[in-house]
Each structure stands twice: as C-alpha cells, then as structure tokens.
Amino acid sequence: MDFDLPKLMIVDDEETTRLILKNIFKKDYQLIICANGEDALLKAKSERPDLILLDIMMPGIDGYGVAQHLYEDVATKNIPIIFLTALDGVNDEVQGLKIGAVDYVTKPIQPEIVRLRVGNHLMLKRQASQLKRQAEQLALLADLDGLTGIMNRRALDRELQRELNRAARAELPIGLLMIDIDYFKSYNDTYGHLVGDRCLQKVAHCLQNFLPRRTDIIARYGGEEFCCVLFNTDFEGMELIATRLAKAVSDLQIPHAGSGNGEYLSISIGGCSIDPMSLTRPEDIISCADQHLYQAKHSGRAKISLCHNAEVCSENYSAVF
C-alpha cells in the first residue's frame, strides 16, 4: 500500500457497488471499505479519510445519520462527503446538501463521472488546505520583526493584553522588562549600521535563548529596545530573570569601543511586577517599566531598576553589571 496516496472511504451495504467502486479507485487511493454506517463511524475517526463516498439507503444508520454524526464530531467534521444514491428526487438532494455533503452521485455508477467528482473535490480540499497554511504563515510573519525574527511591537501589544487577562483570571503575578542596548547610537557610528543590525540580532537571540520558559515572551519594542513579558512571575522571579539576561548579554563580549561602561556591549533593564488583583492596563505596566529603564540608564547604564507595583511605582531595586 502506498501511504502517500489519499485515503478514500467507501460506505455501501451492497457488495456489488463496493466491488465496482473498489475497482475504479484501487490504483489511485488507499481504500477503506465499510458495509454499514456503524463501521463507517468507527473507521472515520480512526482512519481519518480524505473523502467519503457514502450510500444513503442502508439498514441501521442510514447515510444521512452517518453524515450528521460525522459533521457533529470535531475530529471528522471537515471530511468531505459525496452521497451515493438511487434516489433522484430534489428533496433528497436538498436534505443531503443541508447536512453538509459536497456532492451527489446517482446509481447505477458511471465510473468516469464518479472518478472525476472524487478527484475534483479532493483537489478543492488540497487547495483549501494550502490556502489555510499560507494564511497561517502570513499571519505568523506579520507578528515577527523582520530583522531579528522575534515578536514585533504589533504582536506584543496583543499578547500583553492577553497575558494580563490570563494573570487576572488565574490570580497570578506578571512581570514586564524593558531592555535597552547601552550607547547603541555610538555603536552604529563606530561600526556602521550593518554591523549594528547583526548586533541587534545577536542580542535578540541571546535574550530569547536565556528566557527560562517557553511561555515567556520576548519582543522587539523598537530600535534597540526589547520587551519581555513574564507570566506567573513575582518580583523576586523578575529580578532573577533580569539579572540572568543582563549577564548573558555581557557574556557575549561584543566589542564596543564607544561604550561608556567598558570595552564590551551592555544593556540596561527597567522592570515592573504587578499582583493579580491590580486593574492595570497594558500602557500602565509598560510606562512603569519604561520609567525604571530611564532610571537605570540615567544612573550610569548597565544597570537594572525594578518596581514592585505599576500603580504605586515607588519600591525599586537597582544593580550594576
């Protein structure tokens, strides 16, 4: 059996019809053949066929009943169904299409007609899947910063609101860090913008790799600024992560002849941690972290300044790296 071939399920209680359809499709499809509706429902969930040829008039669960069950199940609701029927009334066709069938094939079976209809609907399904994948890829690219490959500001705004809502529902703390590369204008002036771009990429990847959890968010906020959103992270946890990130960038030992803090590139960090009961808007926690970033930079750079609460914004912690 060629597992690259599409899967076609044939459901019919008449052995003659099953044999005819088997002979039509056996060279081009993996066939799943069922003689009744009950067997079809079980195999549809386990085998996940790409399309189902389904007889209407069957003992037990008829074709309409099988289709109804399949379209109500999240695991099988997207499998296209073509009804097989000796019925030729308009009402019968309307009923099947209302349930969700994509087409009808009347008996006696005309091999060329049924082959073309199955092929056409599978082609449409493949095209729809490709369009869906392309749309998902475009949506992903729209959320990424073109230079660094990490999340961009647009995506950050959305995800920060989502994380604040999640923290409030779960009654868990959340932290936010604003990070700025020290003397970056001087870096660009000294080494050129192409080297500056590579520097931004190195720092972005370093920050991303040294965040402790997959759920932590790192984004490029703009220019040489980055932002980290830390779900379920209290002040002490935020302090630990900020310290780790500052050391990780320092350990890169990127030469910076224009730095006022030594021979290597450094970062300054401002941060804010809020408790789950705070009714803080995204702009409030960003503003608080930004104020502390300003404090870190204007107290000599290569420092960390953290706040316990965005609404109070009074208690803070500072360290030098």
User: Can you state the angle between helices 193-210 and 184-191, rounded to 10 degrees?
Assistant: 130
d(CA 107, CA 200): 67
- Architecture, CATH, for domain 7-138: 3-Layer(aba) Sandwich (3.40)
Go through the chain and tell me how many residues it has.
Answer: 321
Please name which of 277, 300, 275, 274 lies closest in space to residue 287, comparing C-alpha atoms: 274
Q: Which residues contact 320 (CB under 8 A, 6 or more apart)?
A: 300, 302, 303
pLDDT of residue 315: 45
What pLDDT, on the 0 to 100 scale, is given for residue 176?
A: 96
Among candidates 288, 146, 175, 300, which has minimal Cα distance to 239? 175
The pLDDT of residue 321 is: 46
DSSP letter, residue 109: P
Roughly how many angstroms between the first and final C-alpha of the chain, as a whole number?
63
Residues of the chain with CATH 3.30.70.270: 153-320
The span from the CA of 264 to the CA of 77, in Å, is: 58
Asked if residues 201 and 147 have their Cβ atoms less than 8 Å apart, the reply is yes
- Where do the H-state alpha helices sit in 26-81? 37-47, 63-72
- What are phi and psi for residue 53, nearest 5 degrees? -95, 115
Please say whether the dihedral angle defined by the alpha carbons of residues 106, 112, 113 and 119, taken in this order, is positive or negative.
positive
Contact 56, 92 (CB under 8 A): yes
Q: pLDDT (tens digit, 0 to 9) for every residue of the chain, 321 residues total?
A: 566 899 999 999 999 999 999 999 999 999 999 999 999 999 999 999 999 999 998 999 999 999 999 999 999 999 999 998 876 656 667 777 788 888 988 888 999 999 999 999 999 888 888 888 888 787 777 899 999 999 999 999 999 999 999 998 999 999 999 999 999 999 999 999 999 999 999 999 999 999 989 889 999 999 999 999 999 999 999 999 999 999 999 999 999 998 888 899 999 999 999 886 765 789 989 999 999 999 999 988 999 999 876 555 544 445 544
Cβ neighbours around 249 below 10 Å, total: 24
For CATH 3.40.50.2300, the residue range(s) in the chain are: 7-138
Determine contact, residues 148/205, Cβ cutoff 8 Å. Answer: yes
Place of tokens 């499809």: 29
Coil/strand/helix, residue 277? coil
- pTM, full prediction: 0.63
Question: What gap in Å lies between CA 21 and CA 62, rounded to an integer?
Answer: 19
CATH class (in words) of the domain with range 153-320: alpha beta
CA distance linking residue 138 with residue 206, whole number of Å: 25
